[in-house]
Structure 1
């Protein structure tokens, strides 16, 4: 039996989870996180994870994306 953790309690999210969490499309998140200076992306080999708290901070400061 797998344990289901709500998105708002997870530390790191996949692109699909991050898209559902913040309402930004997967392709837009992928484009934003491709930048070398992106503070909210965590690479696990070739797997891209989004740091939820850092993404929240980034979006709170952003005027537009």
Structure 2
């Protein structure tokens, strides 16, 4: 098995729900709900049944909001 070095969360292109919750300080339930309500969002990728969040695009969405 190959041993891949860990990439810092702030350098990753996509984040899992768990990583995004820590990075953005938003609850996992809230992020899952946002992903469920916006299945065609440009900041969202489905990897099989796993939700991946495009970090930079989601940062822009967060920057434009006053309340989540």
Q: What TM-score do the two structures reach when normalised by structure 1?
A: 0.91
The CA deviation string for residues 21-47 of structure 1, in whole angstroms up to 9 with x for no partner, is: 110000000000112342211011211
Output the CA distance in 2 between the equivalents of 1:25 and 1:52. Answer: 16
Q: Distance in 2 between matches of 1:15 and 1:5?
A: 16
Match of 1:49 in 2: 52
User: Aligned pairs, how many?
Assistant: 65
- Give the unaligned 5+ runs of structure 1: none
**Structure 1 ranges of 4+ moved more than 4 A:** none
Alignment partner, residue 19 of structure 1: 21
Larger radius of gyration: 2
Give distance in 2, aligned partners of 1:28 and 1:12: 18
Give the aligned CA root-mean-square deviation in angstroms.
Answer: 1.1
Match of 1:36 in 2: 39
